[in-house]
Amino acid sequence: MSSVSFRSVTKRFDGDVVAVDHLDLDVADGELLVVVGPSGCGKTTTLRMLAGLEDVTEGTISIGDREVNDLSAKDRDIAMVFQSYALYPHLTVGENLAYPLRIAKVSKAERNERVLQVANQLQLQELLDRRPRQLSGGQRQRVAMGRAMVRQPQVFLMDEPLSNLDAKLRVVMRSEVAELQRSLGTTMFYVTHDQIEAMTMGHRVALMSAGVLQQVAPPDELYRLPANVFVAGFIGSPPMNLMVGNIVDTESGNSAIASGSAVLPIDGDEHPMLRQLDRSRPTIVGVRAEHIQLRAPGAGAPATVRLVELLGAEQLIHLEVDGLDLYTHEVPNEYGSATHRVIAKTHDDVSTLSVGDVVGVGIDVGHLHIFDRETGTRAAPTPALAT
C-alpha cells in the first residue's frame, strides 16, 4: 500500500490542448479517492498519467516516496481495472485470475494459493472452471477485479469499471467495491462520470472541470459546502437552484432574494450569514431542491406548478416563478444548472401537487448558498458558520 501525490501536473496534447492544468492532489495511504466530472474534464487523462500510459508534460507524480514520471507502467506496482472486462475468452476464470502471476513467473503453488484467496474474497470459488461467456456481467467484473487483486499492488486504478453494467447491478457492485476496498485497505484511485458512484463510494471526491481541479472533499462537505457555482451545479440530483440576484431588505424589514423582478422571502434574518455578507457585490444565490419552502398561495413568491415527477418516496416539483433570473453556466451542458424553473423536492408525507396549481415559494436562511457573481466562488456561508 502507498500514497499518491500529484504536484503541479500538466498534460498538453499537440502542444496547445491542455487536458490537465497544474493539478495538485494527494491520495492518502489506504484511501478510496473518486475523481468525477463531465466528459473531457481530464479525469481519465489524470488516471492514465498515474498508470504510466500517458507522459506528464510538466510536474511530478509520486507513488509513496518514489517519483514515477520516468518509470514504465509495469514498474509502477499498480493494477488497473478497465471499463471493459478485458478477459481472455479461451481461459477459465481460474486461469484468467492466475494470468498476471504466470507472466510474473510466480511459482505454481503460490499462484494457486493467491487465486483461491481472491476467489473466496470475491465469491468466485464456484466459478473457477467456467469461461467468461458463461458468466453474468457482475461476475465478469468481479473476475476483472480479482485479476488486479492477485497482484497485490500498491495502488488500484479503476477507470469507470461499472459503466457497462445495468442500473440495478451497478448499485450492487458499487457497494461491493467499496466494502472490498475497506477490507483490503489498499489505496484506490477511482474514475467515474457518475456522481452517485462518487458520493456513495469515495472517502473523498475530487471534482474536475476543463482540466482544473474544482474541489476535493469528503462527499458530505462537497454537497453542503460547494466551493463554486460549478460544483453546486454538478453535485446533487437535481442540481442546486441558482438565481442571479442579491439579498435585500424589504419594506417590512425582513430580508429577501431579489432576482429579476421576483422577490423570494427569507426566513431567519438574524443568521450570521446575512450579517457577514457584503451586499454591495453582485451575487448568485443557491438553494437545494429539498430546502425550497412551499407555502400557501399569497405567502411567498407566487409560483405555478409545471411538472411533477414521482420518485417513489419523493416528488420533484418544477415551479415557474414569474420574472425570476436563473443562472446558467456560460457553456451549458447536461451537468449544469440549465433549467429555466425552480425545482423543489417533497416527500411522500406531503400532499402531491398537480400541474397548474399555484403555490408560494420561500427560503430558509440556514440553507442559502451565496456565490460571488464575478468569480463564481463561494461567498457564504463559510465552513465555520455551516457546522
Q: Give the pLDDT confidence of 228-286 residue by residue, as tens digits.
A: 999 999 999 888 999 998 888 877 777 888 888 888 888 776 667 777 777 778 889 99
How many whole angstroms separate alpha carbon 8 and alpha carbon 59?
5
In this prediction, the residues of the chain whose per-residue pLDDT falls under 70 are: 1, 269-271, 329-340, 349-351, 382-387
Instruction: Output the nine-digit C-alpha cell for 273.
Output: 450569514
Spatial CA neighbour of 33 closest among 43, 45, 18, 41: 43
Exposed, middle or buried, 14 (CB in 10 Å: 0-12/13-18/19+)? exposed
Q: CB neighbours of 292 closer than 8 A, spacing ≥ 6?
A: 241, 319, 342, 343, 344, 345, 361, 363
Query: Hey, how many other C-beta atoms are within 10 angstroms of the C-beta on 289?
Result: 20
Amino acid at 297: P
At 270 the pLDDT is 63
Q: What is the pLDDT of residues 270-296, one digit of tens each?
A: 667 777 777 778 889 999 999 998 988
User: What kind of fold does domain 230-386 have according to CATH?
Assistant: OB fold (Dihydrolipoamide Acetyltransferase, E2P) (2.40.50)
Query: Hey, how many other C-beta atoms are within 10 angstroms of the C-beta on 317?
Result: 25
Residue range(s) occupied by CATH 2.40.50.140 in the chain: 230-386
pTM of the model: 0.87
Phi, psi of 26, deg, nearest 5: -120, 140
How many whole angstroms separate alpha carbon 7 and alpha carbon 292?
41
How many whole angstroms separate alpha carbon 50 and alpha carbon 78?
9
How many whole angstroms separate alpha carbon 27 and alpha carbon 65?
13
Spatial CA neighbour of 370 closest among 274, 235, 263, 266: 274
**According to DSSP H, which parts of the chain are helical?**
43-51, 93-103, 108-121, 137-149, 167-184, 195-201, 219-224, 229-234, 272-276, 383-386
Radius of gyration for the chain, computed over Cα atoms and rounded to the nearest angstrom:
25
Selecting from 1.25.50.10, 3.40.50.300, 3.40.50.12500, 3.40.50.2300, what CATH number does the domain 4-225 have? 3.40.50.300
